[in-house]
Amino acid sequence: QTCALPICQVWDGLKFDAVGLIFSFIAMTSLIFYYIFGERASLQRDAISLMMWGFFCSSAFWAIKLSWFEFPWEKLTVIVEPFPQTDVQMPVWVLAIYMIVGGTVLPFTLVIQGMKYRGAAGASLMGMMDPLEAPQGVGKISQLAGMAP
């Protein structure tokens, strides 16, 4: 889903980009391996330990690729307004923790757990439905909160 923007280059009149296409195939292949190996491994291990090993490997890769000493840690303390219609302000680190837990740890745990019951095909299908259903959920929450008609 994220690779669709570089492939089509929507900012440049929907021009095809070969580099974006290559990276989309790499992302697709890694997701396929994730589901295939995750399904097999979920029969022998619990979801939390599988997720821990996956995050450990990816963290080790990115720690080598991008140094921790060059990360702009001071930017995490900047105060932002995440909701334009409200006066709510919070530091960026609160949003970062929300993205780590709610946007990464929880979904990956649920997908691995779901593979035990639905298999890789069923878990991947349900995982791909999320972007289609999320806008409807956000719209309904906005209506309930009185932020949208």
Q: What is the dihedral of CA 125, 131, 133, 136, to 10 degrees?
A: 180
> Which tens digits make up the pLDDT trace of 38-82?
888 878 888 788 888 888 888 898 888 888 888 888 888 989 888
* Beta pairing partners, 90: 80
> Which tens digits make up the pLDDT trace of 90-147?
898 998 888 888 887 887 788 888 777 878 887 777 766 666 555 555 555 555 555 5
**Are 51 and 108 contacting, i.e. CB atoms less than 8 angstroms apart?**
yes
